[in-house]
Structure 1
Amino acid sequence: MRRIYATAEQLVAWTGRTAPCDVELLLARASQDIDAALLTALYATDEAGFPTDAAVQQALVDATCAQVEYWLAIGSDGITSAEQWDSVSIGPVSLSGHSNVPPTPVVVNGVEIAPRALRILLGAGLLPGEVLTC
């Protein structure tokens, strides 16, 4: 069973905007990315793998919403991104970007995490994770 950490209603409350038509798909993809980022995080879970601590639950809701919010801001569907450059030249190299492009995501455990989602996970003490060996 896939874990989805946030609902459409929570995303609407987070962004203050109407949910996009593919909200369930975006929330599922964002939840998968959050799971991947937390690959080495330690926290108590129930049998289905959902966190049992209320603070961790809220952090995962908020991080999932922040991930979707970022994708909506950059025109992404969680798989591909919209064009990030106004113009590009090959030789001599010249790039021109948008003045209001959101910050670049950070790669955590091989997945791009939105800057706000990363701050939420760091603030909750879920990153960086540790691997314990016995």
Structure 2
Amino acid sequence: MARVYATSAQYQAYTGDIPPADIAVRLGRASKFLDSQVFRLCGYEVDEDGMPTNALVLAAFADACCAQVEWGVDVGDVTGAAAAGWGTVTIGSATLSRSVTATSGDAAPGRQIAPAVWDALRSPDLTPDVLYVGLVVT
């Protein structure tokens, strides 16, 4: 079963906004995305379901998920598909071009890690004994 690190109420408290109707889906996607891109590279204690056991780590993961969802809303790409395949974009007098065949969904803004995710994980309260970011184990 997929882990979901934040609730609708936590999203509302984090952003100050009323959550969209599909907030559970968005938080689930953000949790899965951050699991694969960030959390799997961190060291922390977990329970039998794989959830962090430390309250500070759990709160940081919830904030990180809320930040990721908010980022998708802010950049206008909640699924990570908005920028996939664009060839030429013009904004005012600026024009950007790239090969349509050389792009992937990973280049989309919604597939980028929100800067506020790192803010949540770099809290001074998250000492290396409860969360180690960048852990590599062989």
Corresponding residue for 1:73? 74
- Unpaired segments of 5 or more residues in structure 1? 96-110
Give the C-alpha shift of residue 79 in structure 1.
2.7
- Aligned residue pairs total 114
* Alpha-carbon RMSD: 2.6
Counterpart-to-counterpart distance in 2, 1:72 and 1:18:
13
Counterpart-to-counterpart distance in 2, 1:73 and 1:43:
30
Give the C-alpha shift of residue 128 in structure 1.
3.5
Moved over 6 A (4+): none
Give yes or no for contact 2:67–2:114 (8 Å, CA) kept in 1: yes
Give the C-alpha shift of residue 113 in structure 1.
1.0
Q: 1:78 to 1:121 in 2, by over 3 A?
A: farther
Identical aligned residues as a percent: 38
Matches within 5 A, 1:91-106: 94-95=95-96
Give yes or no for contact 1:38–1:127 (8 Å, CA) kept in 2: no
Corresponding residue for 1:13? 13
Corresponding residue for 1:131? 136
TM-score by length of 1: 0.73
Give yes or no for contact 2:43–2:132 (8 Å, CA) kept in 1: no
Counterpart-to-counterpart distance in 2, 1:59 and 1:50:
12
Matches within 5 A, 1:1-134: 1-36=1-36, 37-81=38-82, 87=90, 94-95=95-96, 112-123=112-123, 124=126, 126=131, 128-133=133-138
Amino acid at match of 2:90: S
TM-score by length of 2: 0.71
- Unpaired segments of 5 or more residues in structure 2? 97-110
Q: Secondary structure at the match of 1:113?
A: coil
